[in-house]
């Protein structure tokens, strides 16, 4: 895994600001994918939700795998079947949040 230093230049109201951030990626393709993912989140979430989402994932990264598993497990179920599984699904998420 490489660490890429990215320098962002912002021009606003005649002033220029620079911010340097470090992003870990295996290669420039992965780096580009990470930027696209951030861009997508930024387009679909308001500021507070974006910040909260990133904070939650940083604090509880295990939630990602749990949510992926829950989506896969319920993909082919109807609403009744999902409703019956819901208490167990919620318990898995709550347990992950408590860790």
The residues, any chain, with a CB within 8 Å of residue 7's CB and separated by 6 or more, are 18, 19, 20
Q: Specify burial of residue 47 (Cβ count, 10 A radius: 0-12, 13-18, 19+).
A: exposed
Q: Which helix (H) or strand (E) holds 85?
A: helix 79-98
Q: What is the pLDDT of residues 13-69, one digit of tens each?
A: 999 999 999 999 999 999 999 999 999 999 999 999 999 999 999 999 999 999 999
CA distance 98 to 11: 43
For the whole prediction, is pTM greater than 0.85?
A: no
């Amino acid at each position: 895994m490489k660490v890429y230093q990215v320098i962002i230049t912002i021009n606003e109201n005649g002033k220029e600001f620079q911010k340097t951030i470090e992003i870990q990626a295996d290669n420039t393709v992965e780096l580009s994918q990470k930027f696209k993912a951030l861009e997508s989140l930024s387009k679909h979430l308001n500021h507070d939700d974006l910040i909260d989402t990133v904070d939650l994932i940083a604090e509880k990264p295990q939630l990602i795998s749990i949510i992926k598993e829950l989506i896969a497990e319920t993909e082919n179920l109807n609403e009744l079947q999902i409703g019956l599984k819901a208490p167990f699904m919620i318990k898995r998420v709550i347990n992950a949040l408590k860790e």
